[in-house]
Amino acid sequence: MGAELIPCETDEEFEQALRRLAVQRHLHLVFVPEAQAEAMPEAVEAFRKRSKAALLALPLVQSEEHPTLQQVRHLIEQATGASLI
């Protein structure tokens, strides 16, 4: 199990990164910032059509409407049976 951070400064970089990731068959889980996912719904939809990997949009700002990152981490660990560091 491994992880890689792909910085995306612009919407175009975000869309290109999702396009590249969508064709990688070894991927099973992709995290993206919620704000970028909301700004680029077409790119997210295209990724989901091409890839079998789960794409999860993470809220980077805690609010009452969203789970905390700790809660998200717990749900993922529970679903995958792995401990995330």
Q: Which two structure tokens, joined as six digits, stand for 38?
A: 């909301």
- Residue 32 pLDDT level (bands cut at 50, 70, 90): very high
Would the pLDDT of 28 be above 70? Answer: yes
Q: What is the pLDDT, as a whole number, of residue 65? A: 63
Q: Specify burial of residue 32 (Cβ count, 10 A radius: 0-12, 13-18, 19+).
A: buried
Phi, psi of 32 (to 5 degrees): -135, 150
Write the pLDDT tens digit of every residue in 39-57.
Answer: 999 999 999 999 999 998 8
Instruction: Give the pLDDT band (50/70/90) at residue 74.
Output: confident
**Is the CB of residue 46 less than 8 Å from the CB of residue 20?**
no
For the chain, give every domain's residue range: 11-80
Question: What pLDDT is recorded for position 14?
Answer: 96
Q: Residues 34, 60: contact at Cβ < 8 Å? A: yes
